[in-house]
Chain A
Amino acid sequence: MILKKYLYSPRNMFTGVISSSLTIVKSLIRRKYGFEKSITLNYPIEQYHYSDRLMGMPELVLNEKGKSLCTSCDLCVQICPTKCLELKGEVGKEPKLFSLSLSDCIFCGHCEVVCPDKAITMGNNHMLTGHKEEVLRLDFSEWKKLSSRQ
């Protein structure tokens, strides 16, 4: 469709001023006397609840005794595109060394798709800011501590 001809002719100044000011006055009245609340989210005081599908930090799934379900099959290490996971252990038992590097992880979710024991999931923790003195590589015990807390 070719755009209509009246869109190319400028309107004169008087109509323009009245039309623009009416639009702005209408939205001001709607805000003050209507039922629209302010849309600003006052961050440190209010929080926004993301859905369950949010791609946060990867977390380990623990059973009732506090042990992880991982059996050292090494598949998540092979598929990770940036090689941020490191694993050492015998197949079938709990790993001795399993660490995650937060400076390399791109939060893609491939490790969750591939794990056959469902031992690693993408959690809901998206607040990962840190000072420069904080260490960004989590070893096994620290990772288990952060996984249980929501």
Chain B
Amino acid sequence: MSLSLLNKLGKYLSPIIVEEIEEGGEIYFDKNEISLLLSHLKSEFEFLVLLDICAEDLLGKKNAEERQSHRYEIVYHLLNLEEHTRLRVRLPTDGVEPILSVREVFLNGDWYEQEIWDMYGIKFSDQSDLRVLNHQSFIGFPLRKDFINESNGSTQEPYDFFDEQESVQVVERGLRSIVNIGPVHPITRGSVRSIFELDGEKIVRNKFEIGYTHKAIEKIFEEKTWTTGILLAEQLSDQSPFLSSLAYVNAVEKLYDLEIPDRAMALRMVFSELSRIVDHLNCIGELSLSSGNETILFKCLDLRERIYELFEKATGSRTKANINIIGGLSLDLPIGWIADCIIHIDYIEDNLLMLDKLLTRSKVWMARTNVCKITSHMALEYGLSGPSLRASGINYDLRKASPYYFYNDVDFEIPLGVNGHCYDRYLVRIEEIRQSLKIIVQVLDNLPFGDCVATHPLTELFHAKSPQQFSTAEDFVKNKITPPSKRIYSSIEAANGELGFYLISDGSSKPWRVKVRAPSFTHIQVLAQVLPGLILDDALVGFSSLNITPGELDR
């Protein structure tokens, strides 16, 4: 954090101290006026974006600090776009009295608070009793440390949302009907149930129900060791699992304070750009499928197959990336991979030109996708990130703002849209594929030599030279080398936005709490304000342009 901002905050908040940490600052606040504090931080110190709200249960934690005499703690993560710093506000609570809600200050705080009620049982002011991720007749709060699994029934009817609302002005003429577009549908990809209230063909109100593929990944993280967590982090995305596991491994390496060699950083950049291309191609294919154009989908599937071939030769699996370990990469490139890579990159670039000629500037495609306008003010209020934010005109990309690995030394540009329609999101994604190809070629030209794995007690099994002994293998299984007791938040630029992990460790071999900051969970809240007023077909086009992934949404 810059010195002037730190001094200003310290003067405003005295006698509360602002601690300086690696990503910015941290405040420990134990009074009851949290929404007043956050609205002052937003208006005078320009912390405009609320990234996440997370909760933690402190029952039975070792190495606890002395000033904790309560059971729960709630953490608010804020972001300042101009100075690229983050701020954490920690609020202790007992869980008995309801906490003042922040949903009037930051519009996207509603769903985060509802999820904390679902998982922990902590009430906020003026909150309904609906469950977000578990089913509606569930008994118990899963993420508490003393949760016992009773038999919760499974045959219950899907809940009907519009019955309990107060009567909104019923339309005088025309037909009012309720349409349910369920989880088994090609556009919602198997996880979202959307309920529309229509007046003829126009949408009056809409609601979403999620949680159909909820597997409680955050609870399983606490039962397995730090190294097995990489397998769980891959499940967060079905198109680009390399980027999701890279976000987790990056966070754990910061916790252990480990430095990886140069060759591992360069190879990780190459694989993550290839993964990003797969995700963008899939999104363009689905966008054209939802507007009735199937030719483009088949072309995108063909281009995706080429990248799967490259992944299979290097890592052994077509889609899952089991090459990331704590400390680098477990396998080096095989002989002949770079030549294959350049042949496939040429093929992709030729066919991308063909896609461009068929779709861009054509009258039918523009008329179909000039819907669902998201202004830049709305984008900042709801906390968007990634290509959806850049299509509304705001220039923020984590690879340029706080660069990691070698993104400082590579020459690439960030495309910005003008209007915020679906057409802009399509243009931004096609241009990002071209910039990713440019990055890959530059890195492969100057690949550094050396080892792929760092020399550290954690990675002794992966060096080819050390003899295999029973004691090193046993240390790996039981994870005897434990990290220090710390809290850390780290994020990377995934294909859809900012994917972050908030890790809390208490010095043992298993994590105490892992929270995933998923971009899809934030993006779906914008649709409550954008969709009313459109016709039903345009709403489906707008939904599929935001790239809502079921793995991140439901975790």
Same complex for A and B? Answer yes
Query: Considering only CB atoms, which chain A residue lies closest to B419 in the complex?
Result: A8
Chain A residues touching B, range? 35 or more
Q: How far is B317's CA from A137's CA once the two chains are assembled, in angstroms?
A: 23
Known: A54-B316, A75-B477. A2 touches B418 (CB 8 A): yes
Is A42's beta carbon under 8 Å from chain B? Answer: no
Spell out A's residues near B (CB within 8 Å).
1-3, 6-11, 13, 16, 19-20, 23, 27, 39, 50-51, 53-55, 73, 75, 78-79, 81, 106-110, 113-116, 118, 122
- Minimal beta-carbon separation of B462 from chain A (angstroms): 8
- Minimal beta-carbon separation of A38 from chain B (angstroms): 12
Contact, CB under 8 Å: B413 / A1 = yes
Q: How far is B318's CA from A51's CA once the two chains are assembled, in angstroms?
A: 11
Query: Considering only CB atoms, which chain A residue lies closest to B359 in the complex?
Result: A20
Other-chain contact of B469, A2, A27, A116 (Cβ < 8 Å): A116
Query: Considering only CB atoms, which chain A residue lies closest to B358 in the complex?
Result: A20
Is B85's beta carbon under 8 Å from chain A? Answer: no
* Residues of B contacting A11 in the complex (Cβ-Cβ under 8 angstroms): 361-363
Question: Would you list 18 pairs from A and B whose C-beta atoms are within 8 A, ordered by A residue?
Answer: A1-B414, A2-B418, A3-B415, A3-B416, A3-B427, A3-B431, A11-B361, A16-B361, A23-B358, A27-B354, A39-B302, A51-B313, A53-B315, A54-B312, A55-B317, A55-B322, A81-B231, A114-B477
Q: How far is B315's CA from A1's CA once the two chains are assembled, in angstroms?
A: 35
Q: How far is B318's CA from A107's CA once the two chains are assembled, in angstroms?
A: 13
Contact, CB under 8 Å: A8 / B418 = yes
Q: What DSSP secondary structure best describes chain B's contact surface?
A: helix
Known: A3-B427, A13-B363, A78-B477. A51 touches B312 (CB 8 A): yes
Contact, CB under 8 Å: A114 / B473 = yes
Chain B residues touching A, range? 35 or more
B445-469 contacts to A (CB < 8 Å):
461-462, 468-469
Is B377's beta carbon under 8 Å from chain A? Answer: no
- Minimal beta-carbon separation of B344 from chain A (angstroms): 13
Extra pairs beyond A7-B361, A53-B313, A53-B315 (4, CB < 8 Å): A7-B427, A13-B363, A75-B473, A116-B468
* Residues of A contacting B468 in the complex (Cβ-Cβ under 8 angstroms): 116, 118
Known: A3-B418, A3-B427. A116 touches B470 (CB 8 A): yes
Q: How far is B231's CA from A27's CA once the two chains are assembled, in angstroms?
A: 42
- Minimal beta-carbon separation of A148 from chain B (angstroms): 22
Other-chain contact of A79, B313, B357, B427, B477 (Cβ < 8 Å): B477
- Minimal beta-carbon separation of B32 from chain A (angstroms): 43
Q: How far is B428's CA from A74's CA once the two chains are assembled, in angstroms?
A: 52
Q: How far is B473's CA from A23's CA once the two chains are assembled, in angstroms?
A: 58
Contact, CB under 8 Å: B461 / A16 = no
Query: Considering only CB atoms, which chain B residue lies closest to A109 in the complex?
Result: B322
Is B476's beta carbon under 8 Å from chain A? Answer: yes
Contact, CB under 8 Å: B361 / A1 = no
Query: Considering only CB atoms, which chain B residue lies closest to A19 in the complex?
Result: B357
Question: 6 closest pairs, A vs B, by CB?
Answer: A53-B316, A10-B363, A1-B413, A79-B477, A55-B316, A11-B361
Contact, CB under 8 Å: B362 / A16 = yes
Query: Considering only CB atoms, which chain B residue lies closest to A114 in the complex?
Result: B473
Is B36's beta carbon under 8 Å from chain A? Answer: no
Is B334's beta carbon under 8 Å from chain A? Answer: yes
* Residues of A contacting B231 in the complex (Cβ-Cβ under 8 angstroms): 81, 106, 108
* Residues of B contacting A3 in the complex (Cβ-Cβ under 8 angstroms): 415-418, 424, 427-428, 431
* Residues of A contacting B322 in the complex (Cβ-Cβ under 8 angstroms): 55, 108-109
* Residues of B contacting A39 in the complex (Cβ-Cβ under 8 angstroms): 302
Contact, CB under 8 Å: A51 / B417 = no
Is B366's beta carbon under 8 Å from chain A? Answer: yes
Known: A20-B357, A81-B231, A114-B461. A10 touches B362 (CB 8 A): yes
Query: Considering only CB atoms, which chain A residue lies closest to B316 in the complex?
Result: A53
* Residues of A contacting B302 in the complex (Cβ-Cβ under 8 angstroms): 39
Query: Considering only CB atoms, which chain A residue lies closest to B225 in the complex?
Result: A79
* Residues of A contacting B358 in the complex (Cβ-Cβ under 8 angstroms): 20, 23
Contact, CB under 8 Å: A50 / B357 = no
Is B474's beta carbon under 8 Å from chain A? Answer: yes
Contact, CB under 8 Å: B362 / A20 = yes
